[in-house]
Structure 1
């Protein structure tokens, strides 16, 4: 088994270089118009460089961010079924965005305030979750964090339902669109922000991945190796919150990417985070690019919300993982 993992590890770098190129080209040249028209016609050139390319790049960056967050949260809770949305950041950001939509339907507000509110809502949800799940004697039990996140997500769903009931018809459509996820607002400003977060994570996390490996052995074993478990948990959760909040602010709620990508990477490389993280990030970006291409073509010239596509693809995988985990625990 060890040799097979090593053989796969040798192919991580080529895969990380090849997969993004192939999927970015797939996303760019997939749509209702053929690629020859995109390359030759003036209107096609405008669509290619001003609309489709920023959208495909945003899909890849958001998928990579969610996958990175998935690796971190699964590492700190030591559960392959954990998903970044479990800590409540997605729900908090969505509620704040819905509040903006409802208020702006009656009182004009600057558009830049919506992402700011969504970001603040995500971080407020994080603070509540950390207060509930990582305080006092429960610092050793990361399961409390997940339970607190589930509670926040349930509350967020109820609040979004209440806001939808209060909203006008136009505001209701916007709330629904945001809740289901969309890349229609892609631009280079968002791409720059997403890239900056990923670059900061790339500078911070590689030297700390062995500490995540130690956490997989258990908190007692990690402490015996000189690792501050409390500090590592806080840092990981804050980074997860930052990545998920930025992604949700840019595109709305997109689920299951952070669950599927780390799982596929572990199947290919084993459990070591030095191998899992880079491959999971590339797989997450490619998955979202493919999902966006599917969303743009299935009902063309209309467009499916990308959150629906990722849920339809991810829910069966989650169910299979859940059944496998149940069988493993029954032995």
Structure 2
């Protein structure tokens, strides 16, 4: 590992830790620094209601947005490599729209006891997989195999379809339920509990390990399918396997924090600008930066208009627009 990569990862980890502590100590409730530290460390003099705020409300929320940001960033890295498209992200193939449609249908129509029993993450993942299968079915032909260009166009069509399904469910649903669903669809980790962290916390580490294990193959895919195949890379199997993993991470992320856009698109490019495109270095930095960006944005959502909260999607769109324009300009110039 080069010194540039080492320092980029080390500084990102320190920034993530600092942002995480800020997310735990600051929020809509104004707590003193000494009281927050005592509550976080569970000191004897800590007030119980502050311990409840820190350990049951803020800490699980910070961990959730960190996991979501990391998962979406990893999905973006994988999709941009496997599709060789710098504008690819977890939402390109309709994964988020399928997950959100399934989750919206569950919130609006299914009994709360059933949703609690089955789990919203499982239902959202099922929606993401359904959208993924439909997209693959539209883009695959026995003669030509998987067409990357058709895959992108099919993903856009499938995404629009599932967005319309979600809008239809919200339009005919009870207004009280609709408000809750809309807040979730705009992105929010409010109300996250420790049990909500489990699905994504179990799925993300194995995906990171697998991505690192096959990082050289991902590098080869960037050379083109023919060259990668000549080097012994099973391109079709690699593409299907990692796109399925991206569907899993996207579905679980949508279930955990609602629709969170731009992380999978912007963060991989941020990491490439810092250390280059070699996946052995790119993957860990992108994962850390994804967690860092979403933790910071979630903190800002809580403090900008405190005691009111902004949806994650609002500030993410504002912050992501300038980098997105830069990426488009780079793509046009062929950089």
Once residues 142 and 6 of structure 1 are traced to their aligned partners in structure 2, the CA distance between those partners, rounded to angstroms, is: 34
Q: Which residue of 2 aligns with 1:120?
A: 126
> Superposition pairs for residues 189-208 of structure 1, below 5 Å?
189-208=195-214
How far has the Cα of 1:215 moved from its partner? Answer: 0.8
CA-CA distance at 1:305 after TM superposition? 1.0
1:53 to 44, 53, 59: 59
Q: Give the TM-score of the pair, scaled to structure 2.
A: 0.91
Distance 1:200 1:9 in 2: 22
d(CA) in 1 for partners of 2:198, 2:146: 37
Q: What CA distance in whole angstroms lies between the structure 1 residues aligned with 2:141 and 2:63?
A: 39
Alignment-derived partner of residue 130 in structure 1: 136
Counterpart selection for 1:297 from 295, 303, 306: 303
Task: Give the Cα separation in 2 of the matches to 1:76 and 1:86.
Answer: 13
1:321 pairs with 2:319: no
- C-alpha distance in 2 between matches for 1:187 and 1:72: 29
Deviations 1:267-326 (A, max 9, x none): 010110011100000000010100100000111101111122212212332122112312
Equivalent of 1:27 in 23, 26, 33: 23
Q: Which moved more, 1:66-75 or 1:171-180?
A: 171-180
Give 1:110's match in structure 2, choosing from 109, 114, 138: 114
Is contact 1:94–1:178 with CA below 8 Å preserved after alignment? no
Structure 2 residue runs of 5 or longer lacking an equivalent are: 39-45
1:166-205 aligned within 5 A = 166-205=172-211
Distance 2:156 2:144 in 1: 17
TM-score, normalised with respect to structure 1: 0.92
Q: What secondary structure, in the 3-state scheme, does the structure 1 residue paired with 2:91 have?
A: helix
Per the alignment, in what secondary structure is the counterpart of residue 300 of structure 1? coil
1:81–1:318 Cα contact (<8 Å) kept: no
CA distance in 1, matches of 2:286, 2:166: 31
Partner of 1:245: 251
- Distance across 2 between alignment mates of 1:266 and 1:276: 7
Cα distance change on mapping 1:10 and 1:190 into 2, 3 Å: same
1:36 corresponds, among 34, 37, 44, to: 34
- Structure 2 residue 218 is matched with structure 1 residue 212: yes
> Who is 2:42 aligned against?
none
Preserved contact between residue 95 and residue 160 of structure 1 (Cα < 8 Å) = yes
Quick check: 2:56–2:194 contact (8 Å CA) kept in 1? Answer: no
Q: Once structures 1 and 2 are overlaid, which stretch shifts more, 204-213 or 34-43? A: 34-43
Aligned 8 A contact 2:57 2:191 in 1:
no
Tell me the matched-pair count: 323
CA distance in structure 2 between the partners assigned to 1:192 and 1:101 by the alignment: 20
Q: Which runs of 5+ in 1 are unaligned?
A: none
Q: Does 1:309 align with 2:305?
A: no
CA–CA separation in structure 2 for the residues paired with 1:102 and 1:220? 47
Query: Which one of the candidate residues 11, 17, 32 is aligned to 1:15?
Result: 11
1:263 aligns with 2:269: yes
> Does the 8 Å contact 1:138/1:144 carry over to 2?
no
Change (3 A) 1:139 1:8: farther
Cα distance change, pair 223–115 in 1 and its aligned pair in 2 (3 A)? closer
Confirm or deny: 8 A CA contact 2:94 2:128 kept in the other structure. yes
| CA–CA separation in structure 1 for the residues paired with 2:5 and 2:126 | 39
Contact 2:125-2:250 at 8 Å conserved across structures? no
Contact 1:185 1:251 in 2 (8 A): no
Q: For residues 272 and 21 of structure 1, do their structure 2 counterparts lie closer, same or farther at Cα, with a shift above 3 Å needed?
A: same
| Alpha-carbon distance in 2 for matches of 1:185, 1:123 | 26
Flag the 1:9–1:60 CA change in 2: closer, same or farther, 3 A.
Answer: same
Alignment match of 1:161 (pick from 156, 164, 167): 167
